[in-house]
Chains A and B, each alone.
Chain A
């Protein structure tokens, strides 16, 4: 047996020891050292760029030379109120709202089953089953839908095999939601948005439902409520913060996306595409910047409302 070691080691001394002592005596120095690198990074690179962008929305573009005029004006925001641009904004907001509602409807049963009935292995399976699609490549998911919605693709094939092609054609001839084919209709865009953002809705709804005690649901049934009544008066109000939290993601992500409507959809623009077009070929950075302010403002109001509904506790 070796000699018993001292339970308390002597201080190490040396430079490292001195520095450690300084940190121990002045925790604020350590705190500052910890915070400075991330704050510099986010503050300068990220916030700096954001404010530079915001500032540019107050400039305008000279109509003759196409150059940016560096004087403060609200002219660019005036342009935003053109009927064509208002159309783009309304279209995007409506799409975001539709996607959000549909995502809540599809997500609820999955989340509820995972929260209340799935146990053990099934629970893990459900969790991974939601996590893997959430994290798998965004572009691959969009690509998969391009395959599905193609004219020669699987969806048309299924309709044909079921002898329901007439139904699809009747649907496509409907105004607004229809189009030449699914891949160039709003319905196609909607489906892809719904697919890509669905996991973002399931997770917070599930988190909210996990916190609903099962005996509340049973008590409601014992007191004579039908399942529909229980759902409406017990489950839904308790799950609402989760739904609102999920809707923050689905709404915000739809507002800012420009790739999905470009690949699957009609040629009518969404906000993201307008931003992309104005900053790119048109070189109209001020208008592009003003356009980016729209989703920020909308999300600002949305978050403010969500906070009042207590959605942040469900995140």
Chain B
């Protein structure tokens, strides 16, 4: 039996770990306070008073809604593409050993391993060279490219845990390839795919670096925020938008966590 089950942590370690976690979370909590401040000209702390007026103001802003709607559409389509491509790739890599397998894993990870600015500028100059005008679809193209890896990682991990004998048993019992896929493989990898899709959605919804290069005149929500960050004009609205973005991205991450928590803790690894 291992003897470290009941070991107590030294006090210094506890303090350092708690401080580290506090460092990670306090700044985000601060956003929630600022969303309700009455101050609208500066970032004054402590807030002179609290109000929920800005929620209503933000609600009635067409530019915020437009940016949000664009972000949601981009993220939805990019996620869909990434789920198809990522699953195909994961199925191939985990089921067979073939020449160049390692290279394919590397190729999938590359768009996220290289700094985003490189992906961004490479796509932009390629669009320019090919005379492709910037549009909704150029944004989707960029997002889908770096979302593949998230779905791929989740799917590969699940494929590895799914025993190959299940598939053989299904075949032995007379199911053909499609039936096996429908009744055996899909139920087994379903939650992993869902988790991967949610993380891909969160990743795309939040992406700004590649988007600045692949978007034309259109502003996704992060682009809208970036403009406000560089030249603050409407601080209260930005505060509220920031809070909403935090809440909106938390939900898919929590969901992805609960979908994959049994077994390998994979969701989110290798963002």
**Which residues on A are within 8 Å of B, measured CB to CB?**
7-12, 16-17, 19-21, 23-24, 27, 30-31, 34-35, 37-39, 41-43, 45-50, 52-53, 56, 106-107, 109-110, 112-114, 116-117, 119, 124, 126-148, 150, 152-154, 157, 195, 198-200, 202-203, 213-215, 217-218, 227, 252-253, 255-259, 262-263, 272, 275-276, 279, 285, 288-289, 292, 295-296, 299, 315
Contact = CB atoms under 8 A, between A and B. Distances in A.
Given A37-B85, A49-B126, A139-B229, A152 B45 contact: yes
B118 A153 contact: no
B27 to A, nearest CB: 4
A183 to B, nearest CB: 10
16 contacts: A20-B178, A21-B176, A24-B176, A30-B177, A49-B123, A110-B17, A113-B13, A124-B261, A130-B24, A134-B268, A139-B229, A153-B43, A195-B24, A218-B3, A263-B229, A272-B115
Interface string B151-181: 0000000000000000000010111111100
Contacts of B199: 135
Contact of B2 (A8, A20, A24, A214): A214
A147 B113 contact: no
Interface string B198-227: 010011001011000000000000100110
Nearest to B207: A138
A292 B118 contact: yes
B88 interface: yes
Nearest to B15: A109
B52 interface: no
Interface residues of B, number: 96
B117 A276 contact: yes
Given A45-B145, A53-B125, A198-B24, A136 B117 contact: no
Interface of B: 2-5, 7-10, 13-14, 16-17, 20-21, 23-25, 27-28, 30-31, 34, 42-46, 81, 84-86, 88-89, 91-92, 95-96, 98, 104, 107-108, 110-111, 113-119, 121-126, 129, 141, 144-145, 148, 171, 173-179, 199, 202-203, 206, 208-209, 222, 225-226, 229-230, 238, 242, 245-246, 249-250, 253-254, 257, 261, 265, 267-271
Contact of B44 (A17, A20, A152, A215): A152
A137 B118 contact: no
B246 to A, nearest CB: 6
A216 to B, nearest CB: 10
B30 A139 contact: no
A114 B208 CA distance: 31
Given A139-B206, A139-B225, A198-B24, A128 B257 contact: yes
